[in-house]
Structure 1
Amino acid sequence: MDQYVIALILGIIEGITECIPVSNTGHMIIIGPIPVIIGLLVGALFMIYAEKRRVTTRLVDSVNNLSIYQCFQIGLYQMLCLWPEFSRSGATIAGGMLIGCTRRAAADFSFIMAVPVFILLWVLSDNSGYISNYLSLFMIANEEKMKFKKFRKNTCIGYRFMLL
């Protein structure tokens, strides 16, 4: 069977089971609802701010043009996802845009940064189901981002919803 068909099937299964509130309920029980709500609101406002901020020129238009320092800065933005329900991809895309990347370069780098995070998640959780689900979703998202050029949205939030 073609690897894209397998990735599509695994991505659909992940998408269907995503609505099961296991992890969200766990955050609510362990941490409480107020920090979770704050994380969602701050994350959404952060993404909107990064998108709407007026930048005269974007310095980086490709992942290949990112310097090590800029990669480090985006990695620091990724640390925001340690707060419960703060989106990792939203933090890295918005952080990339704040340091001068185009939306496309920031989204590409966000996907690249996801691979080590998910591999580490798999190693620490000792559950091989995580890695197959996330890597299949990663492969599908990479295919879909190519189509995104034709279907532009005004905000990175719209891009995130398109992937879900």
Structure 2
Amino acid sequence: MDIIIGFILGVVEGLTEFAPVSSTGHMILVGHLLGFEGTVRASTFEVVIQLGSILAVVFLFWNRILNILGIGRRESHQQSIGRLSVWHIAAGIAPFFACGFFFYDFIKSQLFSTQTVVFTLIAGAVLMVIAEFFKAKSPAAVTLDQITYKQAFAVGLFQCFALAPGFSRAGASLSGGLLVGMNHKTAAEFTFIMAIPIMFAASGKDLWESWGYLTVNDIPLFATGFVTAFFVALIAIKFFLQLINRVKLIPFAIYRVLLAVVFWIFII
């Protein structure tokens, strides 16, 4: 049964972590339907499979990551001017880490509820619709290397909405990217890259605090979920990057509202 649960939840995590539909919401719903919830084991499992998903981003964007860190292919001074750097990433993640630091206890104690998820699913959908209607007609940033520090920081501010479970970090960041002058694909790629330090830090903290609760018997469950999430996320990210420029955010917003209704029926 552990293998089956690990596989199912690994698929759910891999499919939803980087789409603007709230992976947290899906994990809560599917975990509830499977009877796998409310324990340290279940919450630690979610952390482990998130690491599987983020490893897929590292794998797919490996060359870009090396370039950002300045250890990839060398460029001339002229070519390197304006390219995406580690400082753009820092500007993008700073607001999220600052808000998370000051409001961590409040978020963990007050916002992790199914009622919050229903509200944030709908609120995130509204933001995505607003972003589509008010996005720039001629985006200033159509590649990662055209993103400015101001745009990166602004996206980071929007990303803070995702501290509330169910809002979706991808949804908040994508919406923010559109509103500050990025096109869909560039906003998505920037969202994925920003996820690496954020998810490693958040997952690492939670995993460290839960490590003492794990046993050898948990290995099949955790290994299955981790590997499944990694490979499913690889496929999902590639598919999403091809899809987002064609379908935009409105279909995802509609799906979020439908998911909120499902939450209301099955969980609340």
Match of 1:83 in 2: 164
Match of 1:123 in 2: 204
CA RMSD across the alignment: 3.6
The SS at the match of 2:165 is coil
Report 1:34-45 matches (<5 A).
34-45=115-126
- Which amino acid counterpart does residue 20 of structure 1 have in structure 2? G
Q: Distance in 2 between matches of 1:84 and 1:13?
A: 17
- Which amino acid counterpart does residue 155 of structure 1 have in structure 2? L
1:73 positional shift: 1.1
| Pick aligned residue for 2:150 from 69, 82, 95 | 69
The SS at the match of 1:100 is coil
Q: Distance in 2 between matches of 1:134 and 1:94?
A: 25
Match of 2:181 in 1: 100
| Pick aligned residue for 2:235 from 140, 143, 146 | 140
Match of 1:4 in 2: none
1:33 positional shift: 4.7
Match of 1:152 in 2: 246
Q: 1:56 to 1:47 in 2, by over 3 A?
A: same
Contact 1:43/1:90, CA 8 A, preserved across alignment = yes
- Which one has the largest radius of gyration? 2
Contact 2:188/2:241, CA 8 A, preserved across alignment = no
| Pick aligned residue for 2:192 from 99, 111, 114 | 111
The SS at the match of 2:247 is coil
1:55 positional shift: 2.9
1:120 positional shift: 0.9
Q: Which has the higher contact order (CA 8 A, sep 6+)?
A: 2
| Per-residue Cα deviation, 1:43-84 (whole angstroms, up to 9, x for no partner) | 110011111225331111011110122111111111111123
Q: 1:54 to 1:114 in 2, by over 3 A?
A: closer
How does the TM-score come out when normalised to structure 2? 0.46
Q: Distance in 2 between matches of 1:58 and 1:11?
A: 40
* Structure 2 unaligned residues grouped into runs of 5+: 1-5, 14-26, 44-106, 212-221, 256-268
| Pick aligned residue for 1:56 from 118, 124, 137 | 137
Q: 1:65 to 1:120 in 2, by over 3 A?
A: same
Q: Distance in 2 between matches of 1:65 and 1:84?
A: 31
Contact 2:135/2:181, CA 8 A, preserved across alignment = no
Q: Distance in 2 between matches of 1:115 and 1:16?
A: 19
State the identity %.
24
Aligned pair count? 148
- Which amino acid counterpart does residue 42 of structure 1 have in structure 2? A
Q: 1:16 to 1:33 in 2, by over 3 A?
A: closer
Q: Distance in 2 between matches of 1:45 and 1:123?
A: 32
How does the TM-score come out when normalised to structure 1? 0.70
Q: 1:56 to 1:144 in 2, by over 3 A?
A: closer
Q: Distance in 1 between matches of 2:122 and 2:239?
A: 27
* Structure 1 unaligned residues grouped into runs of 5+: 1-9
Match of 2:56 in 1: none
Q: Distance in 1 between matches of 2:243 and 2:174?
A: 15
Contact 2:124/2:171, CA 8 A, preserved across alignment = yes
